[in-house]
């Protein structure tokens, strides 16, 4: 039974579970409530994505059994977008041949269309640059995309231009360099400095229980927990003190897994979130008040998470050649590093 709109939160549908539905599978029952708009498989994907709650608690198992008298809320998905269209967006191309294209992605560019970003993405730019041949690779919404960078993360990214390259590169990224030649390195500017020169963060990630757009370190046994491992090494410390602490640090991160927001969440988990990260490090912004006036505003107001995909190496899917690309810091990241280098050491 659907609850009147006045009792449902905007963007959600609410359904009261009657006596006749007690013991029924959640996915089966919700599919019946929403038919014909949402299929059962679509309902299952929405549940696993963390967008269904029973009496306010997220439920991730589609076959969960219903209890009479409870209230089920369903986050209604965005309508399926039309096929991405070509858009003339300038690209910084590091390499291109008939099989693949490597770009230096600027901060602010979304990789593929999604909620709130149906146009103006890298995919729209690639369809314009590469022509119709790209549109069938890797699915309609994300042609040729084998890995991604967050919107506000800059740096090296490779895109496949045909099925051969898509299969080979997808396999390489799925393996994360454990058995192959794939190598990725990110540079991040952190608040403070990790306790050791190099370390490993091995902590499973899942959807945040308080905000479905965020990720968090979660217990290993939780249904949505995903294995996540980040290796880090300190590159430089800024504003060092006699007690071996520092105001900020530049670290290199290498991923053993590729989870959403992995570096950002893992660095925050060890107490050193990225400068500029308003999602996982907002509380640290006031640390900038300790800086000299001429440095304070630039650090406090850095407009994005200070994360840059510095290095990408992989084996060419056709020629078998090892390709290696490095992207210089963009101007905002470089200015942040240079500003922090001006901090006095005690």
Catalytic residues: 150
Rounded Cα gap, residues 324 and 311, in angstroms: 7
* Torsion sign over Cα 286, 291, 293, 298: negative
Rounded Cα gap, residues 134 and 142, in angstroms: 10
CA dihedral 259, 263, 264, 269 (to 10 degrees): 100
Kindly provide the residue ranges of all beta strands, DSSP E only, lying in the chain, ordered along the sequence: 12-16, 52-54, 57-58, 71-75, 93-96, 100-105, 154-160, 183-191, 198-202, 205-207, 215-217, 229-238, 248-255, 307-315, 322-326
Helix (H) or strand (E) holding 163: helix 163-175
Strands 307-315 and 154-160, sheet pairing: parallel
124 with 81: CB under 8 angstroms?
no
Question: In the Cβ-directed half-sphere of 2, how many Cα atoms lie within 13 Å?
Answer: 12
| Cα–chain center distance at 83 | 23
For residue 339, the 8-state DSSP code is: H
- Give how far Cα 50 sits from Cα of 43, 265, 295, 299, 319, Å: 11, 18, 41, 35, 42
| Cα–chain center distance at 222 | 20
Q: What's the N-to-C CA distance of the chain in angstroms?
A: 67
Per-residue HEC secondary structure of 80-92 comes to CCCCCCCCCCCCC
- Give how far Cα 137 sits from Cα of 14, 23, 178, Å: 38, 43, 25
Report the chain's C-alpha Rg in angstroms. 23
């Amino acid at each position: 039974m659907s609850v009147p709109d006045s009792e449902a939160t905007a963007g959600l549908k609410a359904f009261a579970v009657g006596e006749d539905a007690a013991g029924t599978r959640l996915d089966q029952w919700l599919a019946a409530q929403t038919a014909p708009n949402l299929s059962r498989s679509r309902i299952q994907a929405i549940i696993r994505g963390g967008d269904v709650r029973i009496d306010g608690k997220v439920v991730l198992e589609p076959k969960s059994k219903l209890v009479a008298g409870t209230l089920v809320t369903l986050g209604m998905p965005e309508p399926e977008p039309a096929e991405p269209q070509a858009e003339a967006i300038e690209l910084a191309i590091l390499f291109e041949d008939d099989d693949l294209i490597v770009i230096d992605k600027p901060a602010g560019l979304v990789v593929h269309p999604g909620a709130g970003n149906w146009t103006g993405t890298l995919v729209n730019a690639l369809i314009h640059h590469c022509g119709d041949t790209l549109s069938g690779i890797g699915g309609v919404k994300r042609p040729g995309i084998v890995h991604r960078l967050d919107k506000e993360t800059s740096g090296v990214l490779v895109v496949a231009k045909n099925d051969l390259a898509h299969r080979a590169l997808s396999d390489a990224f799925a393996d994360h360099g454990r058995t192959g030649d794939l190598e990725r390195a990110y540079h991040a500017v952190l608040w403070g400095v990790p306790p050791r020169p190099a370390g490993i963060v091995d902590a499973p990630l899942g959807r945040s229980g308080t905000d479905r757009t965020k990720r968090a370190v979660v217990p290993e046994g939780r249904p949505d927990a995903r294995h996540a491992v980040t290796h880090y090494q300190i590159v430089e410390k800024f504003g060092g003190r006699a007690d071996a602490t520092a105001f900020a640090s530049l670290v290199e991160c290498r991923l053993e897994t590729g989870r959403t927001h992995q570096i950002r969440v893992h660095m925050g988990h060890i107490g050193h979130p990225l400068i500029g990260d308003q999602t996982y490090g907002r509380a640290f912004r006031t640390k900038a008040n300790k800086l000299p006036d001429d440095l304070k505003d630039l650090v406090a107001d850095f407009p994005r998470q200070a994360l840059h995909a510095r290095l990408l190496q992989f084996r060419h899917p056709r020629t078998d050649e090892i390709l290696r690309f490095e992207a210089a810091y963009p101007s905002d990241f470089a200015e942040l590093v240079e500003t922090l280098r001006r901090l006095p050491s005690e």
